[in-house]
Amino acid sequence: MRRFSSVTVVEVFLVLALLCCSSWKVWSITLCKETNLDKVRPHSVSITEFGAVGDGITLNTKAFQNAIFYLNSFSDKGGAKLFVPAGRWLTGSFDLISHLTLWLDKDAVILGSTNSEDWPVVEPLPSYGRGRELPGARHRSLIYGSNLTDVIITGNEGIIDGQGSIWWSKFRNKTLDYTRPHLVELMNSTGILISNLTFLNSPFWTIHPVYCSQVTVQNVTILAPLDSPNTDGIDPDSSDDVCIEDCYISTGDDLIAIKSGWDEYGIAFGRPSTNIIIHRLVGKTQVSAGIAIGSEMSGGVSNVHAQDIRFYDSYTAIRIKTSPGRGGYVRNIYVSNMTLTNVDIAIRFTGLYGDHPDDGYDPNALPVIEKITIEDVKGENVKKAGLIEGIEGDSFVDICLSNINLNVSSNYPWNCSNVRGYSDTVLPEPCEPLTERIFPDHCSDCYYLSNHRESSNDKKSDGWFTSW
């Protein structure tokens, strides 16, 4: 009898949810748009034709540079493919060109040189005003591209290994001269596909699209030791239309960190990260977050949709990091269908992250954090459900939590301050500022909530309820 009546309550609640949210526009999420997949390049050369030696000892920077210089002449003829066969191809930093496919065959390994002189020093990013770690310039990434269009980095199980441990020790013993390099950085580029490869041991962040549009990262594995410093997986930075799907990432820092510039430099540059889609991500990080936004978010971050995610043996699952001085905004963030196992903190917002480029930041530049929806989350062996801390006098608002069920060990599962929002069906019962019910009055205050529930005939959205 009691069981029956509680089922009825659930059904009534569901109907209310449908009515309430049906006015929302559906932004349908299926797969990354496959714009430049399977692009056939009419010309192809092997790196061996340019004198490269795959013995893991010979430095092949010149061979990569010469091959790409040669292939430039095909860029207006449909582009070209640079084929990297099986072997261990040691190299310093090299530049890509437009309409290029860099293809790594099975058992091909591109190895980053362990001599920092093979990683040239370049200008800092304008939206950061300085190197991220040290004032002034920074080392250029191993694989670099700027002002490009139509670039594919792919292959058949190939590996790109940054051999970053030399950089990690220099970071630890404080002997770095400049900010460490990324493994792959594409700047001011459009139409980028990175797929079907493994990325290992980046000196710093692994894949860094900055000021880019239409970036797809698909079916990649990114690995670095769990204690390697700042080896973020993928960091979309002041970039739009980024789609990341079917990836496994296990590194020493955030697995994905969405950024948009740092304090006064990011505010002045003013380029947001927007339309970021993350699908089917699995991973672990011992000290950081599965998906982070910030802490550099001064150009703004919006419209992030992350779905079908699993994090395990990790410190934090979802994290927003910001600070007075950042300015900018984080809004319209939607996370759903997340499964957590052995995670210390499921949801963490930090309003006082600190960490400024210099003393020139404006302490009155307060970030706007609003419309963050997290729904359909289950977790086993979670220590704390949420540590959600806004900024005094600058509350984070319209934080919406729905259908969350966490098996939490802490006696204080939620700590919240300077936040306001709503919730429904959240266990353990959320902190006081989030206890007000979403349905029926606050549906329109919540970003994207349950849109997908509206079209019950859509097979992708089917079963959201039964599966929990």
Please give the residue ranges that form the binding site for ligand NAG (CB under 6 A): 37-38, 146-147, 154, 156-157, 166, 169-170, 173, 175, 188, 195-197, 218-219, 308, 310, 337, 339, 407, 412, 415, 463-464, 467
Whole-number minimum distance, CB 170 to ligand NAG, in Å? Answer: 5
Cβ proximity to ligand NAG: between 228 and 331 the closer is 228
Instruction: List, in order, residues 6 or more apart from 6 with CB less than 8 Å away.
Output: none
Q: Which residue has the tokens 């609640």?
A: 13
Strand partners, 94: 143
326, 294 in Cβ contact below 8 A? Answer: yes
* Spatial distance between the Cα atoms of 238 and 259, rounded to a whole number of angstroms: 6
Chain-centroid distance, C-alpha 195: 15
Q: Is 232 a catalytic residue?
A: no
- Look up residue 60 and give its two tokens: 């092949």
Exposure string for 253-287, b = 16+ CB within 10 A, e = fewer: bbbbbbbbbbbbbbbebebbbbbbbbbbbbbbbee
Strand-pair category, 138-139 with 121-122 = antiparallel
Q: What are phi and psi of 226, to 5 degrees?
A: -65, -20
Strand partners, 122: 138
Please pick, among 150, 235, 253, 376, the residue that the annotation labels catalytic: 253
**SS3 of residue 131 by DSSP:** coil
Whole-number minimum distance, CB 152 to ligand NAG, in Å? Answer: 8
- Look up residue 136 and give its two tokens: 């002034």
Q: How far is CA 369 from CA 133, 205, 351, 396, 399, in A?
A: 26, 25, 9, 5, 9
* Spatial distance between the Cα atoms of 78 and 91, rounded to a whole number of angstroms: 27
Comparing CA positions, the residue from 315, 180, 236, 252 lying closest to residue 244 is 236
* Spatial distance between the Cα atoms of 134 and 155, rounded to a whole number of angstroms: 35
Cβ proximity to ligand NAG: between 308 and 313 the closer is 308
Strand-pair category, 100-104 with 80-84 = parallel
**SS3 of residue 264 by DSSP:** helix
Whole-number minimum distance, CB 73 to ligand NAG, in Å? Answer: 17
57, 79 in Cβ contact below 8 A? Answer: no
Residue type, 228: S
Cβ proximity to ligand NAG: between 295 and 307 the closer is 307
Q: Which residue has the tokens 């920077």?
A: 61
Whole-number minimum distance, CB 282 to ligand NAG, in Å? Answer: 7
**DSSP per-residue string spanning 170-214:** HHHTT--SSBPPPSEEEES-EEEEEES-EEE--SS-SEEEES-EE
* Spatial distance between the Cα atoms of 313 and 343, rounded to a whole number of angstroms: 6
Strand partners, 347: 318, 386
Cβ proximity to ligand NAG: between 227 and 441 the closer is 227
Catalytic residues: 253
